[in-house]
Chain A
Amino acid sequence: MTGRIIELAPQINKALLQTFYMMFWTLGIAAVAGIPLGTLLYLIRPGSVMEKRGIYLVLDALVNIVRSFPFLILMVAIIPFTRMLIGSSLGTSAVIVPLSISAAPDFARLVEQVLIEVDRGAVEMARSVGASTFQIVVRVLYREGRSGIVGAATMISVSFLSYSTVAGLVGGGGIGDFAIRYGYYRYEPQVMIFTVALIIILVQIVQTVGRIVARALDKRI
């Protein structure tokens, strides 16, 4: 088995790099879009700082709709959009589009939940000293919710590591695609086992780093 793995090392390396590339951009875009969206959902939800019931219901439904798409279907459904954006619907960069579109509302929902968990008393205190909505968001919500947001990013990373394996279908590559091509199509169970073990280790690393960072940021206890 070791011999075969060493033989395939260049391919494995390439696949891992592709996976990291997909994860990096997906997480980045999901955070850039999801954190503001989640914050907006929190702010305008009924009973919150700047309640806007109508807009909330529309956004809430939109988030749910995108989240309910099975990833594979979403990926295929938005091919025209991806082509317009990237110039192609195939390849690693092209997969980032559906991955991000799928991850952003997930991230938004998690952020909304984290902010709901922030002590309402702290928000009330901030209002009492004349903080603007922007100041409340930056100085209270993000500061008090920061370890929760790191936790959300960790969860997104793990679940989209799994989604990224579907990328192989549109030539996206990555470690999941490698497992399918060598482990399954070529009947090389050792390669499959090795790859799955690699993914398990990856998830463990992401989870552990996430936990350490979240704990370091949390001063509640």
Chain B
Amino acid sequence: MIELKSVSKTYKTAGGTLRALEDVSVEIGAGMAWGFIGLSGAGKSTLLRCVNLLERPDSGEVLVDGEDLMRLSVKELLRRRQKIGMIFQHFNLLHNCTVFDNVSFPLAVARVKKDQIKVRVLRSLDVVGLADRARDYPAKLSGGQKQRVAIARAIAMEPKILLCDEPTSALDPQTTATILEYLKKVNVGMGITVVLVTHEMEAAREVCRTVSVLERGRLVENVDMGCPHISPRSVLARHLFGNGGGI
């Protein structure tokens, strides 16, 4: 369960201040697949990064399972982050580490025992179908494979939540479909809450139950993708969904 309450964030830029988030509130139930969509600069990535406090809001509350992360000590916060996985647009693998060492990275950070690490890394790599690439360096992998390694890295920690920051934006349509399949597997098969930031409607449609539409730092509306007839009210949402498009 993730609750963002009246989250606001302002950046100081050379040309003045930029209101990245204005009074955004969302409640994401455990096990949900939730999307944040909007045009670039809408604040969706900033909002996502507020969930694990990579970005600290100026005001508001960030509650994960009822606990206000903003009130935790640094040490406590680092512990909580271990249970919130994250994947990125550019995969963010360590180039000088093998696939195995990339997946074991969060486990090593959390000081998991060596024999345990081996078991969990191989199990995670198995989930994404890359167990045979454990000894390779990322340079030998395709973009899609790199993102699968990143997914394995995230699930190796057995997180409750997986944050996805534009995970398919650097990939071709075919590879995108594969990655989205894995995200669904993580969500439905493993019961992990998935929060997906994307500007691609198709990706959100594929994975998410509910989508929050963001525009210039504000949450415009939440759209239930489960309805047979999606009827977004806002102009932006209608534009993003393509004329209120039925699925």
Contact = CB atoms under 8 A, between A and B. Distances in A.
Interface of A: 119, 121-122, 124-132, 135, 139-140, 143-144, 146-147, 217-221
B94 interface: yes
Contacts, number: 74
A130 B88 contact: no
A62 B93 CA distance: 35
B95 A219 contact: yes
A127 B96 contact: no
B86 interface: yes
Interface string B74-88: 000111111011101
A220 B54 CA distance: 26
Contacts of A122: 92-95
Given A128-B52, A128-B86, A139-B108, 19 more contacts: A121-B91, A125-B105, A126-B105, A129-B85, A129-B109, A130-B77, A130-B109, A139-B109, A140-B94, A143-B97, A144-B96, A147-B96, A217-B96, A218-B96, A219-B96, A219-B139, A220-B96, A220-B139, A221-B139
Given A119-B95, A121-B88, A144-B94, A129 B105 contact: yes
B211 to A, nearest CB: 23
Given A130-B110, A217-B96, A139 B105 contact: yes
B81 to A, nearest CB: 4
B79 A121 contact: no
A127 B54 CA distance: 7
B90 interface: yes
